[in-house]
Amino acid sequence: MASETATERDGTERDGTEGSGTERVETEPVVTDGFPAARSAGKPGPAVPQPLSLSAHELTLAYGSRTVSSGLDLEIPAGKVTALVGPNACGKSTALRALARLLKPQTGAVHLDGTDVSTLSPREFALKLGLLPQTPTAPDGITVRDLASRGRTPHQRWWRQWSRDDDAVVDAALEATGTTALADRRIEELSGGQRQRVWIAMALAQNAPVLLLDEPTTYLDLAYQVDVLELVADLGRTDARTVVMVLHELNHACRYADHLIAMRDGAVVAAGPPAEVVTAELVEEVFQLRSKVIECPVAGVPLVVPLGGRRSTVA
Classify residue 55 as exposed, middle or buried by CB count within 10 Å of its CB (0-12, 13-18, 19+). Answer: middle
Alpha carbons 271 and 277: distance in angstroms, whole number: 6
- CATH number of the domain within which 139 lies: 3.40.50.300
The edge-to-edge listing of strands for the beta sheet with 242-246 is 129-132, 210-214, 242-246, 81-85, 259-264, 267-272
Number of structural domains (the chain) is 1
- Asked if residue 6 is part of any domain, the answer here is no
Q: Are 109 and 98 in contact (CB under 8 A)?
A: no
Range of 268's domain? 33-279
8 within domain boundaries: no
Side chain identity, residue 189:
E
Nearest-angstrom CA–CA distance, 308 and 290 = 6
289 within some domain: no
Rounded CA separation 184/3 (Å): 11
Question: Among the residues of 52-110, which ranges form H helices?
Answer: 92-99
Strand partners, 110: 56
What is the rounded distance in angstroms from the CA atom of residue 224 to the CA atom of residue 219?
9
Cβ 170 vs Cβ 205: under 8 Å: yes
Across the 315 residues of the chain, what is the mean pLDDT of every consecutive 10-residue run? Answer: 36 37 35 48 59 94 95 95 95 95 96 94 91 86 93 75 84 89 94 85 88 87 86 79 94 96 97 96 95 95 88 45
pLDDT at 171: 93
CA 266 to chain centre: 21
Alpha-helical segments (H) within 42-107: 92-99
- How far apart CA 268 and CA 282 sit, in angstroms, is 12
236 located within any domain = yes
Cβ partners under 8 Å of residue 235, min gap 6: 35, 36, 81, 204, 211, 241, 243
According to DSSP H, which parts of 163-191 are helical? 164-176
Q: Determine, yes or no, domain membership for 205.
A: yes
Q: What is the model's pLDDT at position 35?
A: 60
Measured distance CA(16)–CA(116) in Å, rounded: 38
The CA-to-CA distance between both ends of the chain, in Å, stands at 59
- Is 9 among the domain residues? no
Give a yes or no: residue 245 inside a domain.
Answer: yes
Residue 101: inside a domain: yes
Q: How far apart are CA 143 and CA 165, in angstroms?
A: 20
Residue pair 44/168 in contact by the 8 Å Cβ criterion: yes
> Could you give the CA distance from residue 310 to residue 294 in angstroms, rounded to a whole number?
19
pTM: 0.79
pLDDT for 155: 76
What is the DSSP code (8-state) at residue 91?
S
Number of neighbouring beta carbons within 10 Å of residue 67: 12
